[in-house]
Amino acid sequence: MCACVDVDCFAKQTTTTRQHDNTTTRQHDNTTKMANTTLWTGSEKYVCDSELAQAFHMARVLGMPLLIEGEPGTGKTELPLQFASDLKLDMFVYPVGSKSTVEQFVAKFDHVKYLRDSQIEVLNAQRDEKGLDKKLSTGGRSTENLDDYVLLGPAAQAYSTKNSVLLIDEIDKAPREFPNDLLYALSHRKFVLPESGRVIEAKEAEMPAIVITSNREQELPTAFKGRCVYHYISFPQPDMMETIVNKHFPKANNELIDKCIDIFYRLRELRLERAPSTRELLSWLKYLNTFKKNEAIEKVIRMDGMGILLKTETDLKMVQRVKLN
């Protein structure tokens, strides 16, 4: 059962939809909240540089998704989460995996519940014939209303919630057909729900802020990228990294921060199998901040806690052979 977001599926539904406007979700009354298109430059917990802020702003103004690529741990996922938290917006998240489907992302029809309720309705009809008053409950659902059996996924929920935020996280992990199946929805800003044929759509000015992240484990289709505003997050320079660290640990000792950042970048200069990321530096500092200043600095000098920064046996052995201090 597909979620009907591609051209062929949608074409089968358009005639019915035009004849029955009451089945279409439009959300265009005078109380509708418009999408937030102000320039957002970060928050107390998130550093958003000018280029990323501009890309995110363009995407929201144009009603297009923002596709962010970059190394793991550079803050791609945190952007929409912090944006929604800072502005107190509804947040919907879809973590992509190797078995992800558009049906999971948009909506799916609960055939089991529909069949069970159909059987209950038959039993209730038989009870009526026998003059029995007590009926079995379907929980208020009716098999005549197919929408009662449509389970909305994060995409349909976000399109139904104005001024919301939708994160499609690590889309490069998805099967090849997943991004291709989203092309129609991204171009026309609408989804057709399975079985019921109800349309959920949003005007350009009412689109949720959509952020799609990728670690570039596989190349995304060109047509898919064409529907997005693109931004690549470059790895932060040491001065920017210091700003990021201070955002997370405003009360941390400056000497400790300087030593950690120094070792962190020297590790990244080595030819490691997997260079440490910003996320791992922050985790290391979080661990070190549980100790008193002098003890924490001693741990840095001894390079304790390398298992937080390094993730392979080969890298650990290489660093043990190289004296960074």
Nearest to 154 by CA among 184, 197, 191: 191
Other C-beta atoms lying within 10 Å of the C-beta of residue 205: 13
Say if strands 199-201 and 190-192 run parallel, antiparallel, or are unpaired.
antiparallel
**Do the Cβ atoms of 176 and 216 come closer than 8 Å?**
no
Nearest to 3 by CA among 125, 100, 136: 100
Distance CA 220, CA 120 (A): 46
Helix (H, G, I), strand (E, B) or coil at 16: helix
Domains of the chain, by residue range, sit at 7-106+153-233, 238-316
Q: Which residues lie below 8 Å from residue 207, measured CB to CB, with a gap of 6+?
A: 35, 60, 63, 64, 159, 189
**Do the Cβ atoms of 169 and 93 come closer than 8 Å?**
yes
Enter the tokens of residue 15.
Answer: 């005639």
Enter the tokens of residue 298.
Answer: 């001693």
**Do the Cβ atoms of 138 and 187 come closer than 8 Å?**
no
- Quote the pTM value: 0.78
Enter the tokens of residue 270.
Answer: 């080595």
Q: How many CA atoms lie within 13 A of 321 on its CB side?
A: 8
Helix (H, G, I), strand (E, B) or coil at 233: strand
If you classify domain 7-106+153-233 with CATH, what class do you get? Answer: alpha beta
Residue with tokens 């919301």: 164
Give the pLDDT confidence score for residue 223 in this predicted structure.
93
Enter the tokens of residue 164.
Answer: 């919301």
Enter the tokens of residue 282.
Answer: 């922050």
**Do the Cβ atoms of 257 and 269 come closer than 8 Å?**
no
Give the pLDDT confidence score for residue 323 in this predicted structure.
65
Helix (H, G, I), strand (E, B) or coil at 172: helix
Question: Phi, psi at residue 47, to the nearest 5°?
Answer: -95, 120
- β-pair partners for 199: 192
**Do the Cβ atoms of 40 and 88 come closer than 8 Å?**
no
For each of the chain's 325 residues, which pLDDT tens digit applies?
Answer: 334 443 334 333 333 333 333 333 333 333 445 567 899 999 998 999 999 999 999 999 999 999 999 988 889 999 999 999 999 999 999 999 999 998 999 998 888 988 998 898 888 888 887 778 788 888 888 888 888 888 999 999 999 998 899 999 999 999 989 999 888 888 888 888 888 888 888 888 888 999 999 998 889 999 999 999 999 999 999 999 999 999 999 999 999 999 999 999 999 999 899 999 999 999 999 999 999 999 999 999 998 889 999 999 999 988 888 765 5
Note the maximum CA span of the chain.
88
Radius of gyration of the chain (CA): 25
